A and B are shown apart, each in its own frame.
Chain A
Amino acid sequence: MSRFFDIPSDLQHSWAGLIGLHMREALLPVAAGLLLALPIAQLCGRFRWLYPPVLGMTTVLYAVPSLAFFVVLIDYTGQTELTVMIPLALYSLVVLVPAIVDGVRSVPDETLAAATAMGFGPVRRYLQVQLPIAAPAIIAGLRVATASSISLVSVGALIGNQGALGNLLAAAQKYDRPELAVNAVLTMAVLAILCDALLVGLRVLLTPWMPRAGSRPKPAPRREGITPEGAVR
């Protein structure tokens, strides 16, 4: 166990450095996914006929295994971080688009009418009424996307040292040091749990009107189709 944090020098990073790299490679795609998903979800809300094909397309993208996605992208973006981050951003879309669409749709018509009657324009109504009410659903989606993103970055190790903490897994095999693999799995799990806790905290901060933990909130009406739970990987 004394060699638990003894990272082989060919990884060119300390343990803390690998954590930083891992968080960057995992969280930037989720942020990019969120930025992309908001307008897409808005379009899907405006034009109802758009939603099924968008959902179908993201599901097909999701069916492509991450490793295959990475390898195919090498041809275009080389063995870089970008090759890992592009598929992760697309995967997070699969979770975020339905979460946002369902969240925004779940805003009651009376609430929207009240906002309009108070003189809210469409932009202000979206930012100050629809998004805050949809926040729990969006954050539920973000939680799933973040957890899967943190886990999937490690697959990048297979395309040549682009997996941050996943590189430790490759090193564990190369140097026959299982403690490095234990280190990688534990660190990733702890990172995922920490991010999850942060997102839960964010939800509590953003939605002060919701019941706190202890009294569980009423489950949101689910739609047939992809539930946020549906896209964990």
Chain B
Amino acid sequence: MNIIDFGNAFFSDSAHWHGYDGIPQRFLEHLQYSLLALAIAAAIGLPVGLLTGHTGRGGNALAFIANAARALPSFGLLVLAVLLIGFGLLPVMIPLVVLAVPPILVTTYEAVRSLDPAPVDAARGMGMHESRILFQVEVPVALPLILSGLRSAAIQIVSTATIAAYVSLGGLGRYIIDGLYQRDYEKVVGGATLVAFLALLTLALFWAVARVAVSPGVRRR
């Protein structure tokens, strides 16, 4: 049997489509963890990145924080958090947020900072308030890059949220971990396929969002 056969066997078994261990349920759980982690990470990374990018200050401190956060191993943080806090959603959110904040933070900062200064100066010369400059000039022009930072964070969260299953939560990682211990390769291949599918779905979603949200004038460049 090769990987494709394993995958076929998994998806054609109707038992995998119903109930608490069914694909729809696990898919929703995975989506829920991912969205929550992305929302928290964006709530931290976006404002800080926008502010530091706008003022141009604190870039070195930011790079240092991002590097330090990147050095922390996700799986290690998860195990540590579970040992210290106990089981639950919180110990899973910690590594996912630590994972997702650096790309959002650094990309947002770089996106705003490396803008063409001419339109920003023009806006300031027209007497626009600093907050209006940020939200009506800088953010729209920097949006493609900001979105790409969010997108890479989202993809990493989606594929790393599988470790939630290691600490007895649900999500698509359930299939991979259970399959590993049950020596059931169908499950592992099925779970991996589903996670990869969700990651591709995320890519497509961000592409669509960029299509709608980015102003045509910015996109054409």
Contacts and interface: CB of A to CB of B under 8 A. Distances in A.
Contact of A189 (B68, B155, B191, B196): B68
B112 to A, nearest CB: 11
A69 B83 contact: no
Contact of B77 (A157, A185, A193, A224): A185
B113 interface: yes
A74 to B, nearest CB: 8
B200 A67 contact: no
Nearest to B149: A229
B148 A233 contact: no
Contact of A232 (B77, B103, B144, B176): B103
Contact of B80 (A150, A182, A222): A182
B192 A150 contact: no
B114 interface: yes
A139 interface: no
Interface string A209-226: 000000010010010111
A1 interface: no
A42 interface: no
Given A159-B180, A188-B71, A222-B145, A230 B152 contact: yes
A141 B118 CA distance: 30
B35 interface: no
A192 B67 CA distance: 9
Given A159-B180, A196-B67, A173 B114 contact: no
A161 interface: no
B145 A169 contact: no
B25 interface: no
Main secondary structure on chain A at its contact with chain B? helix
A128 to B, nearest CB: 29
A109 interface: no
Question: Size range of the interface on B?
Answer: 35 or more
Contact of A193 (B71, B107, B160, B179): B71
Interface stretch (A9-17, A55-63, A130-138): A55-63
A189 B98 CA distance: 13
Contacts of A225: 148
Question: Size range of the interface on A?
Answer: 35 or more
Interface string B54-92: 000001100000011011111111011011100000000
Contacts of B144: 224
**Which of A63, A64, A154 is the most central at the interface, judged by chain B CB atoms within 10 Å of its CB?**
A63
Contacts of B200: 60, 63
Contact of B76 (A60, A147, A181, A222): A181
A229 B106 contact: yes
B102 A232 contact: yes
A154 B71 CA distance: 13
Contact of A63 (B3, B60, B68, B199): B199
B212 to A, nearest CB: 16
A224 B149 CA distance: 11
A67 B175 CA distance: 11
Contacts of B192: 64-65, 68-69, 71-72
A151 B199 contact: no
A68 B199 CA distance: 14
Interface string B181-213: 000010011011001100110010000000000
Given A71-B179, A185-B76, A189-B68, A65 B152 contact: no
Given A63-B159, A65-B195, A181-B83, A154 B76 contact: yes
Contacts of B159: 62-66, 233
A119 to B, nearest CB: 37
Contact of B196 (A64, A155, A233): A64
Given A166-B76, A181-B76, 15 more contacts: A63-B155, A63-B200, A71-B176, A151-B72, A169-B76, A178-B84, A185-B80, A188-B72, A193-B67, A229-B102, A229-B106, A231-B152, A232-B156, A233-B99, A233-B156
9 closest Cβ pairs, A-B complex: A63-B199, A68-B192, A192-B71, A230-B152, A151-B73, A185-B76, A169-B79, A65-B159, A178-B83
